[in-house]
Amino acid sequence: MAAASVVAAVVVAAAPEAVSSEGRVAAPVPELPRGPDTTGIRRSACVGYTRGMGAVDTMEQFFDLINSGDREGAVSLMDERAELRVHVAGNARTLKGLREVGGWFLRAEPGFRMIPGDVRDMGNTYQANLLVLRPGAPTQQLDASFRVEAGKITAINLTPR
């Protein structure tokens, strides 16, 4: 017991503000840089901040939810202002907003699956060759591009191969 009090006394003598009332030593908190960032290091990379979900993380979760039948969960990963561009027979149709884009996925028939292959991680853009399976319909292969910002899907582009 005497050895523990000696160690605490030494710590208190060295830095009294670094010891809590329970006798625990508190680690110093680094100050965040002020002014314009000239180091090239993102401030979110500083101690105490967690890294957000990237495009690959978000899209893996999206496909897991879609393929397990939880379409509502998959739609919850979309931004309010999401856009979906679908290319069909030489024309393109653009759906805007969570109501239209989310509805496109929610109206899919039971058994609808999207299986990504040949994935390319391009930072906040996720590109893949999608195999789309629908019961009673021939399979489709699509070139797909998904843009993800702050863990939310903001844009989807689907083009037949």
Torsion-angle region of 2 (φ positive above 0: left; ψ -120 to 50: alpha; else: beta): alpha
Structure tokens at 56: 């690959």
Element (H, E) at 154: strand 152-160
The b-or-e profile of 134-158 (16+ CB within 10 A means b, else e) is eeeeeeeebebbbbbeeebbbbbbb
Among residues 27, 66, 64, 63, the alpha carbon closest in space to that of 47 is found at 27
Q: What are phi and psi of 26, to 5 degrees?
A: -90, 135
Q: What is the pLDDT of residue 114?
A: 95
Gyration radius (Cα) of the chain, Å: 25
Beta-ladder partners of 115: 131
Q: What are phi and psi of 113, to 5 degrees?
A: -135, 145
| pTM for this prediction | 0.66
Q: What is the pLDDT of residue 21?
A: 55
Q: What is the pLDDT of residue 41?
A: 47
Stretches where the chain sits below pLDDT 50 are 1-16, 18, 29-30, 32, 39-51
Q: What is the pLDDT of residue 47?
A: 45
Measured CA angle at 64 (ends 62, 66), to 5 deg: 65
Could you tell me which CATH number the domain at 55-160 has? 3.10.450.50
Q: What is the pLDDT of residue 81?
A: 96
Beta-ladder partners of 63: none
Domain with CATH 3.10.450.50 in the chain: 55-160
Q: What is the pLDDT of residue 25?
A: 53
Q: What is the pLDDT of residue 15?
A: 46
